[in-house]
């Protein structure tokens, strides 16, 4: 599997490109900004985007949805509980002194237990509300893409609308920590970690 990470936008959100080496089909997870950079990266890798997947609806993770959708015609997917945010991204960004382009509506929803297949790769959807009502993680063998649910040594903030601290902690413990300790954690901001490392050293989860 091809995995490319790009920090995009002023809040430096992690956008991930996942590609199948055999078929060259790909998904883009959380295109928060800088669509041109993401598209250039895809072209250099000779990948065709099948799905645009949003781990949640905050503007710094979905701000390039429209440009990516227009350029690729890929299927745009998010959890239904977070879709209302997509039409109001510029207002949300303006509260931080920033701007964002509102997103098109989702083509389909991501629900607990769904499987997203591209090429010979399958991602399983894990619903992990707590940072937002519709927060999800995406798991494939050895890797989990967690959005703002979990960070290296930290967790997602829970003081925004839809946030719930105890719900977030419970979901991390009950849905992510059962994964193998050597599963690589790919967060929405900052460096990668692993499930085992976060079990042992994350101060919010010890």
CATH 3.40.50.20 fits 2-200, yes or no: no
Average confidence score pLDDT of the chain: 97
pLDDT of residue 206: 82
Q: Indicate the domain borders of the chain.
A: 2-200
Asked whether the predicted pLDDT for residue 175 surpasses 90, the reply is: yes
What Cα–Cα distance (Å) separates residue 191 from each residue in 121, 153, 171, 174? 23, 10, 21, 23
* Percent of the chain residues past pLDDT 70, beyond the cut: 100
- In three-state secondary structure terms, 106 is coil
pLDDT of residue 79: 98
Arithmetic mean of pLDDT, 112-135: 98
**DSSP codes joined into one string, 130-183:** TSSTT-EEEEETTEEEEETSEETTEE----STT--HHHHHHHIIIIITTS-TTP
- What is the Cα gyration radius of the chain? 16
Asked whether the predicted pLDDT for residue 95 surpasses 90, the reply is: no
């Amino acid at each position: 599997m091809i995995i490319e990470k790009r920090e995009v936008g002023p809040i430096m959100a992690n956008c991930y490109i996942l590609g199948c080496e055999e078929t060259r089909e790909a998904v883009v997870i959380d295109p928060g900004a800088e669509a041109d950079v993401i598209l250039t990266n895809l072209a250099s890798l000779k990948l065709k985007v099948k799905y645009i997947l949003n781990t949640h609806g905050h503007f710094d993770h979905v701000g390039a949805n429209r440009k990516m959708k227009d350029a690729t015609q890929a299927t745009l997917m998010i959890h239904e509980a977070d879709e209302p945010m997509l039409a109001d991204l510029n207002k949300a960004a303006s509260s931080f002194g920033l701007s964002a382009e509102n997103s098109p509506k989702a083509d389909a929803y991501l629900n607990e237990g769904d499987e997203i297949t591209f090429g010979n790769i399958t991602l399983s959807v894990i619903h992990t509300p707590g940072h937002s009502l519709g927060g999800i993680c995406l798991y494939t063998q050895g890797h989990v893409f967690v959005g703002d649910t979990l960070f290296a040594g930290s967790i997602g903030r829970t003081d925004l609308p839809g946030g719930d601290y105890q719900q977030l902690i419970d979901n991390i413990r009950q849905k992510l920590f059962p994964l193998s300790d050597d599963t690589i954690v790919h967060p929405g901001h900052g460096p990668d970690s692993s499930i085992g490392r976060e079990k042992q050293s994350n101060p919010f989860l010890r």
